[in-house]
Amino acid sequence: MTRLHYIPNHIPDPSYVRILDTTLRDGEQSPGAAMTPRQKLEIARQLSKLGVDVIEAGFPCSSENEFIAVKMIAEEVGNYVGDDGYIPVINGVARCNEKDIATTWEAVRNAKRPKVTTFIATSGIHMEHKLKKTKEEVLEIACRMVRFARSLGCDDVQFVPEDAARSEREFLYQIIGEAIKAGAASVGIPDTVGIAMPWEYGKLIADIKANTPGIENVVISTHCHNDFGLAVANTIEGARAGARQLEVTINGIGERAGNASFEEVVMALKCRGHDVFGGLYTGINTKHIFKTSKMVEEYTGMHLQPHKALVGANAFVHESGIHQDGWLKNKATYEIIPPESIGLERSSATGIVLGKLSGRHALKKRLEELGYQLQDDEIANLFWHFKAVADKKKRVADADLIALVSNEVTKAESIWKLGDLQVICGTLGLSTATVKLIDTHGNEHVACSVGSGSVDSAFKAVNLIVKVSKFN
């Protein structure tokens, strides 16, 4: 696929969807997820391998280390040119004030494609209680700061009306329209508190497209939070309604309940883009998703729940017998995408976990992979012993299977069987043991012996019967 030439305010192909990854900015705002500048640089390199259109590198004015990290990313990753002409845009975020914007521009300006995003709240609750400003004051600041960013030499400015999902519509249309006049190349429409339902967010994007002066001259971007677990659904609805830049984070990390998950949004478009999204597609190299996910998990300490879609430990693992049987016959019966498409390479066995819900087919397949070729009657006999173990353990490991086969299938035929055992011991003298063994013909043999303890006397009695002079 030939990557489209990047134009800040225009995407030549209406079916192409830009991906803006904000793992290094909004993702790092997850409590406890702070990273060192070196770690952020390594993740940025990995995002470049993924082919992310816009890497939101951070919030340069928040600290000296953050400024250093963003500057390093801009200078190194932001000057990388791929074989197909790909150059990642490096974006820094600033509040609507001159100091923030100037600092952000200084951090990103050495990238081949620098971008500055500036934001100010537009909802009634934010303007009254946080900003303590009127609509008129907010409108004036927004336009003045977009013009200021452009005056520094930045031709790729994104304006964001914070808390857009709770903002009064007419004011939203007005301030976005004025920001476009002031020189914004893209506008971000955030559901800052994750309150919107998918149909509401889709309508918000559609209404902005229909009612904002000049909106046809910029790129609309989504930015959805996951407070109701709807960030991915809202992001996809935004794309369906006409947004052509989607803001996401690896593993869905971010403030509070997180952001829209990079891997879920991208793979939904890749898997269903043609048949349900009218041909929408991204430029992401999805084979780097799994490695990137693990890197972010390690560097942030934000560990994934096992059932996390696509990149969780259980995402491509099957335990139910019905599922295992279908998967073994054709993996597509229970896997909508091959794990290799996100860079997860697995052996033939790793798609199956043996537990109490597993069936004979899965058990037989795993035994074959362990090197056992058993007859159907042996599998049938072993299966019930396997179920007994599985009822006591969450998962039956390979070591358990090997022990079961050894005990139930490959064990040698008994020559002697213990009938009875009686031991007399105490503090008055040596222990005495009486043992009855039964041979293969059913004959009983009894012997009695004295030893230095109960075990010693019992073994000596056994020796007398089986005619072994010494046990090694």
**Higher-scoring residue by pLDDT: 35, 402:** 35
User: Confidence band (pLDDT; 50, 70, 90) for 471?
Assistant: very low
Q: Quick check: 371 pLDDT over 70?
A: no
Q: What ranges do the domains of the chain cover?
A: 18-300, 321-409, 416-466
| CB count in 10 Å sphere of residue 361 | 18
pTM for the whole structure:
0.77
324 pLDDT more than 70? no
Q: Quick one: pLDDT band at residue 132, thresholds 50, 70, 90? A: very high
Mean pLDDT score across all residues of the chain = 88
Q: Does domain 321-409 have CATH number 1.10.287?
A: no
> Is the pLDDT score of 348 beyond 70?
no
Helix (H) or strand (E) holding 196, with range, is none
Percent share of the chain, pLDDT over 90: 61
CATH number of the structural domain 416-466: 3.30.160.740
Question: Which residue has 């200084």 as its token pair?
Answer: 106
Give the domain 18-300 fold. Answer: TIM Barrel (3.20.20)
Question: Which residues make Cβ contacts (< 8 Å) with residue 38, sequence separation at least 6?
Answer: none
Burial 373-398 (b: 16+ CB within 10 A, else e): ebeeebbeebbeebeebbeeeeebee
CA-based torsion, 133, 137, 139, 145: positive or negative: negative
Q: What is the pLDDT of residue 398?
A: 67
The residue-averaged pLDDT of 22-30 equals 94
Among 6, 53, 10, 12, residue whose Cα is nearest residue 218: 10
pLDDT at 472 over 50: no
Could you read off the pLDDT of 172-219 as tens digits, one per residue?
A: 999 999 999 999 999 999 999 999 999 999 999 999 999 999 999 999
CA distance 429 to 424: 10
